[in-house]
Structure 1
Protein backbone atom coordinates (compact mmCIF):
# COMPACT_ATOMS: atom_id res chain seq x y z
CA UNK A 1 0.00 0.00 0.00
CA UNK A 2 1.38 3.38 -0.93
CA UNK A 3 0.79 6.20 1.50
CA UNK A 4 -0.27 9.37 -0.23
CA UNK A 5 -1.82 12.67 0.76
CA UNK A 6 -5.31 12.44 -0.70
CA UNK A 7 -7.34 15.50 -1.63
CA UNK A 8 -10.43 15.67 0.55
CA UNK A 9 -13.60 17.22 -0.74
CA UNK A 10 -15.63 17.59 2.41
CA UNK A 11 -15.16 18.13 6.11
CA UNK A 12 -16.67 14.72 6.87
CA UNK A 13 -14.21 12.83 4.67
CA UNK A 14 -11.35 14.85 6.19
CA UNK A 15 -12.51 13.82 9.65
CA UNK A 16 -12.57 10.16 8.61
CA UNK A 17 -9.02 10.44 7.20
CA UNK A 18 -7.80 12.03 10.43
CA UNK A 19 -8.89 8.91 12.32
CA UNK A 20 -7.36 6.39 9.90
CA UNK A 21 -5.26 3.77 11.57
CA UNK A 22 -2.49 1.51 10.35
CA UNK A 23 -5.05 -1.31 10.19
CA UNK A 24 -6.90 0.62 7.47
CA UNK A 25 -3.80 0.88 5.28
CA UNK A 26 -1.69 -2.21 5.93
CA UNK A 27 -1.06 -4.90 3.34
CA UNK A 28 -1.34 -8.63 3.96
CA UNK A 29 1.52 -10.01 5.99
CA UNK A 30 3.07 -11.91 3.05
CA UNK A 31 5.83 -14.49 3.33
CA UNK A 32 7.12 -15.29 6.81
CA UNK A 33 10.29 -17.21 7.58
CA UNK A 34 12.11 -18.45 10.65
CA UNK A 35 15.04 -16.50 12.04
CA UNK A 36 17.25 -19.58 11.69
CA UNK A 37 17.06 -19.40 7.87
CA UNK A 38 20.26 -18.52 6.04
CA UNK A 39 20.59 -15.41 3.92
CA UNK A 40 20.95 -17.41 0.71
CA UNK A 41 17.83 -19.49 1.35
CA UNK A 42 15.90 -16.34 2.31
CA UNK A 43 16.87 -14.75 -1.01
CA UNK A 44 15.58 -17.84 -2.82
CA UNK A 45 12.30 -17.77 -0.86
CA UNK A 46 11.92 -14.08 -1.63
CA UNK A 47 12.53 -14.66 -5.34
CA UNK A 48 10.11 -17.59 -5.43
CA UNK A 49 7.42 -15.57 -3.67
CA UNK A 50 8.16 -12.52 -5.84
CA UNK A 51 8.26 -10.48 -2.67
CA UNK A 52 10.34 -7.43 -1.82
CA UNK A 53 10.55 -8.33 1.85
CA UNK A 54 10.12 -11.18 4.32
CA UNK A 55 8.76 -11.13 7.86
CA UNK A 56 11.20 -12.87 10.21
CA UNK A 57 9.81 -14.89 13.15
CA UNK A 58 11.41 -16.51 16.18
CA UNK A 59 10.77 -20.07 17.37
CA UNK A 60 7.61 -18.92 19.17
CA UNK A 61 6.15 -17.33 16.03
CA UNK A 62 6.72 -13.75 17.18
CA UNK A 63 7.84 -11.24 14.60
CA UNK A 64 11.47 -10.25 15.13
CA UNK A 65 11.79 -8.00 12.12
CA UNK A 66 11.54 -7.55 8.41
CA UNK A 67 14.29 -8.06 5.83
CA UNK A 68 14.37 -6.65 2.34
CA UNK A 69 16.04 -7.92 -0.78
CA UNK A 70 18.42 -4.95 -0.64
CA UNK A 71 19.45 -5.82 2.93
CA UNK A 72 20.03 -9.48 2.13
CA UNK A 73 21.95 -8.68 -1.03
CA UNK A 74 24.17 -6.23 0.85
CA UNK A 75 24.94 -8.87 3.49
CA UNK A 76 25.64 -11.52 0.84
CA UNK A 77 27.92 -9.19 -1.10
CA UNK A 78 29.78 -8.04 2.04
CA UNK A 79 33.33 -9.11 2.78
CA UNK A 80 32.32 -10.81 6.06
CA UNK A 81 29.68 -13.00 4.39
CA UNK A 82 29.62 -16.75 4.96
CA UNK A 83 26.90 -19.20 4.01
CA UNK A 84 26.24 -19.73 7.73
CA UNK A 85 24.83 -16.25 8.44
CA UNK A 86 21.28 -16.56 9.74
CA UNK A 87 18.52 -14.00 9.59
CA UNK A 88 18.59 -13.66 13.40
CA UNK A 89 22.07 -12.17 12.98
CA UNK A 90 20.68 -9.47 10.68
CA UNK A 91 17.51 -8.55 12.56
CA UNK A 92 17.82 -7.36 16.13
CA UNK A 93 15.82 -6.46 19.19
CA UNK A 94 15.69 -2.83 18.10
CA UNK A 95 13.69 -3.56 14.95
CA UNK A 96 10.76 -1.15 14.64
CA UNK A 97 7.16 -2.38 14.67
CA UNK A 98 3.79 -0.71 14.80
CA UNK A 99 0.39 -1.54 16.18
CA UNK A 100 -2.67 -1.77 13.95
CA UNK A 101 -4.25 0.90 16.20
CA UNK A 102 -1.53 3.50 15.54
CA UNK A 103 -2.74 6.60 13.72
CA UNK A 104 -1.63 6.64 10.08
CA UNK A 105 -0.19 10.14 10.43
CA UNK A 106 1.99 9.00 13.34
CA UNK A 107 3.18 5.84 11.55
CA UNK A 108 3.97 7.73 8.35
CA UNK A 109 5.93 10.37 10.27
CA UNK A 110 7.93 7.69 12.11
CA UNK A 111 8.67 5.78 8.90
CA UNK A 112 9.86 8.89 7.08
CA UNK A 113 11.99 9.88 10.07
CA UNK A 114 13.71 6.47 10.13
CA UNK A 115 13.76 6.19 6.33
CA UNK A 116 11.78 2.96 6.36
CA UNK A 117 9.85 1.76 3.34
CA UNK A 118 8.17 -1.15 5.13
CA UNK A 119 7.14 -1.69 8.73
CA UNK A 120 5.72 -4.86 10.32
CA UNK A 121 2.32 -4.49 11.98
CA UNK A 122 2.07 -6.71 15.05
CA UNK A 123 -0.57 -7.51 17.66
CA UNK A 124 -0.06 -7.39 21.43
CA UNK A 125 1.50 -10.89 21.33
CA UNK A 126 4.08 -10.00 18.69
CA UNK A 127 2.33 -11.89 15.88
CA UNK A 128 2.66 -10.24 12.48
CA UNK A 129 -0.71 -9.06 11.16
CA UNK A 130 0.45 -7.17 8.10
CA UNK A 131 2.99 -4.78 6.64
CA UNK A 132 2.72 -1.04 6.22
CA UNK A 133 4.65 0.17 3.18
CA UNK A 134 5.62 3.65 2.18
CA UNK A 135 6.70 4.93 -1.19
CA UNK A 136 9.28 7.67 -1.41
Structure 2
Protein backbone atom coordinates (compact mmCIF):
# COMPACT_ATOMS: atom_id res chain seq x y z
CA UNK A 1 0.00 0.00 0.00
CA UNK A 2 1.32 3.44 -0.99
CA UNK A 3 0.63 6.48 1.16
CA UNK A 4 -0.68 9.43 -0.87
CA UNK A 5 -0.32 12.83 0.71
CA UNK A 6 -3.34 15.01 -0.10
CA UNK A 7 -3.03 18.79 -0.21
CA UNK A 8 -6.13 20.67 0.92
CA UNK A 9 -7.64 22.80 -1.82
CA UNK A 10 -8.17 26.46 -1.26
CA UNK A 11 -11.81 27.45 -0.85
CA UNK A 12 -11.33 29.91 -3.73
CA UNK A 13 -9.78 27.38 -6.08
CA UNK A 14 -12.42 26.70 -8.70
CA UNK A 15 -15.49 27.12 -6.47
CA UNK A 16 -18.72 25.39 -7.44
CA UNK A 17 -20.66 28.65 -7.12
CA UNK A 18 -18.38 31.66 -7.65
CA UNK A 19 -19.31 34.63 -5.47
CA UNK A 20 -19.58 38.31 -6.32
CA UNK A 21 -16.84 39.12 -3.80
CA UNK A 22 -14.38 37.09 -5.89
CA UNK A 23 -15.21 38.88 -9.15
CA UNK A 24 -15.90 42.49 -8.16
CA UNK A 25 -13.65 45.36 -9.17
CA UNK A 26 -12.33 48.01 -6.79
CA UNK A 27 -14.95 50.57 -5.81
CA UNK A 28 -13.40 53.35 -7.88
CA UNK A 29 -14.39 56.98 -7.53
CA UNK A 30 -16.93 57.71 -4.79
CA UNK A 31 -18.73 61.03 -4.54
CA UNK A 32 -21.25 62.58 -2.17
CA UNK A 33 -24.89 62.80 -3.22
CA UNK A 34 -24.91 66.59 -2.79
CA UNK A 35 -22.52 66.98 -5.75
CA UNK A 36 -23.99 68.66 -8.84
CA UNK A 37 -24.35 66.74 -12.08
CA UNK A 38 -21.89 69.09 -13.80
CA UNK A 39 -19.18 68.47 -11.18
CA UNK A 40 -19.88 64.71 -11.29
CA UNK A 41 -19.33 64.76 -15.05
CA UNK A 42 -16.00 66.51 -14.50
CA UNK A 43 -15.02 63.87 -11.94
CA UNK A 44 -15.85 61.00 -14.32
CA UNK A 45 -13.83 62.65 -17.06
CA UNK A 46 -10.80 63.37 -14.87
CA UNK A 47 -10.89 59.88 -13.32
CA UNK A 48 -11.49 58.32 -16.74
CA UNK A 49 -14.29 56.34 -15.12
CA UNK A 50 -17.48 55.13 -16.70
CA UNK A 51 -19.36 55.39 -13.41
CA UNK A 52 -19.32 56.89 -9.94
CA UNK A 53 -20.46 55.37 -6.67
CA UNK A 54 -22.69 57.85 -4.86
CA UNK A 55 -22.66 58.02 -1.05
CA UNK A 56 -24.76 59.96 1.46
CA UNK A 57 -23.47 62.22 4.23
CA UNK A 58 -22.91 59.14 6.43
CA UNK A 59 -20.69 57.48 3.82
CA UNK A 60 -23.26 54.83 2.91
CA UNK A 61 -23.63 53.90 -0.74
CA UNK A 62 -26.88 55.21 -2.22
CA UNK A 63 -26.32 54.09 -5.79
CA UNK A 64 -24.25 54.22 -8.92
CA UNK A 65 -24.46 56.72 -11.75
CA UNK A 66 -22.85 56.32 -15.16
CA UNK A 67 -21.29 58.95 -17.35
CA UNK A 68 -23.96 58.20 -19.96
CA UNK A 69 -26.74 58.86 -17.42
CA UNK A 70 -25.11 62.09 -16.29
CA UNK A 71 -24.73 63.30 -19.88
CA UNK A 72 -28.39 62.52 -20.62
CA UNK A 73 -29.47 64.47 -17.53
CA UNK A 74 -27.30 67.44 -18.44
CA UNK A 75 -28.64 67.45 -22.00
CA UNK A 76 -32.31 67.27 -20.93
CA UNK A 77 -34.62 70.28 -21.18
CA UNK A 78 -35.31 70.25 -17.41
CA UNK A 79 -31.63 70.47 -16.45
CA UNK A 80 -30.25 73.35 -14.39
CA UNK A 81 -26.77 73.71 -12.93
CA UNK A 82 -28.29 73.22 -9.45
CA UNK A 83 -29.37 69.58 -10.03
CA UNK A 84 -27.65 67.35 -7.49
CA UNK A 85 -26.98 63.62 -7.69
CA UNK A 86 -29.49 62.89 -4.89
CA UNK A 87 -32.15 64.54 -7.08
CA UNK A 88 -31.56 62.12 -9.96
CA UNK A 89 -30.80 58.86 -8.15
CA UNK A 90 -34.25 58.21 -6.73
CA UNK A 91 -34.53 55.22 -4.40
CA UNK A 92 -31.46 53.57 -2.92
CA UNK A 93 -30.01 50.76 -4.93
CA UNK A 94 -29.95 48.33 -6.49
CA UNK A 95 -27.02 46.68 -4.69
CA UNK A 96 -25.59 43.26 -4.20
CA UNK A 97 -23.67 41.49 -1.45
CA UNK A 98 -20.21 39.99 -1.86
CA UNK A 99 -21.80 36.68 -0.76
CA UNK A 100 -24.28 36.63 -3.68
CA UNK A 101 -23.48 34.00 -6.29
CA UNK A 102 -22.30 35.26 -9.65
CA UNK A 103 -25.19 33.47 -11.35
CA UNK A 104 -27.76 35.32 -9.22
CA UNK A 105 -26.06 38.69 -9.70
CA UNK A 106 -25.67 38.23 -13.44
CA UNK A 107 -29.33 37.25 -13.78
CA UNK A 108 -30.46 40.31 -11.79
CA UNK A 109 -28.22 42.63 -13.80
CA UNK A 110 -29.43 41.33 -17.14
CA UNK A 111 -33.06 41.46 -15.99
CA UNK A 112 -32.67 45.08 -14.87
CA UNK A 113 -30.42 45.95 -17.83
CA UNK A 114 -27.55 47.10 -15.61
CA UNK A 115 -23.96 47.31 -16.79
CA UNK A 116 -22.62 47.75 -13.26
CA UNK A 117 -23.85 47.01 -9.76
CA UNK A 118 -22.46 48.33 -6.45
CA UNK A 119 -21.29 45.68 -3.98
CA UNK A 120 -21.97 46.73 -0.38
CA UNK A 121 -21.32 45.27 3.06
CA UNK A 122 -23.95 44.65 5.74
CA UNK A 123 -23.79 48.28 6.86
CA UNK A 124 -24.23 49.68 3.33
CA UNK A 125 -20.65 50.79 2.70
CA UNK A 126 -19.35 50.30 -0.84
CA UNK A 127 -16.85 47.46 -1.25
CA UNK A 128 -16.60 47.40 -5.02
CA UNK A 129 -18.47 47.20 -8.29
CA UNK A 130 -19.58 44.19 -10.29
CA UNK A 131 -19.53 44.93 -14.02
CA UNK A 132 -20.86 42.71 -16.77
CA UNK A 133 -18.49 42.00 -19.61
CA UNK A 134 -20.08 42.50 -22.98
Fold shared by both chains (TM-score > 0.5): yes
Please, what is the CA RMSD of the aligned residues? 1.2
Picking from 44, 50, 55, the partner of 1:46 is 44
- Report deviation, 1:94: 4.4
Picking from 60, 64, 67, the partner of 1:66 is 64
The residue number in structure 1 matching 2:29 is 31
Q: Which has the larger radius of gyration?
A: 2
- In proportion to residue count, which structure has more helix? 1
Q: Match of 1:130, SS?
A: strand
**Under a length normalisation based on structure 1, what TM-score does the superposition of the two structures give?**
0.86
Instruction: Tell me: CA distance 1:94–1:33, structure 2 relative to 1, closer, same or farther (3 Å).
Output: closer
Q: Deviations over 1:30-88 (max 9, x none)?
A: 00000000000000011000000000000000000000000000000000000000000
The residue number in structure 2 matching 1:113 is 111
CA contact 1:64–1:92 (8 Å) conserved in 2: no
Residues of 2 paired with 1:20 and 1:41: CA distance? 37
- Report deviation, 1:93: 1.9
- Report deviation, 1:135: 2.5
**Under a length normalisation based on structure 2, what TM-score does the superposition of the two structures give?**
0.88
- Report deviation, 1:18: 3.0
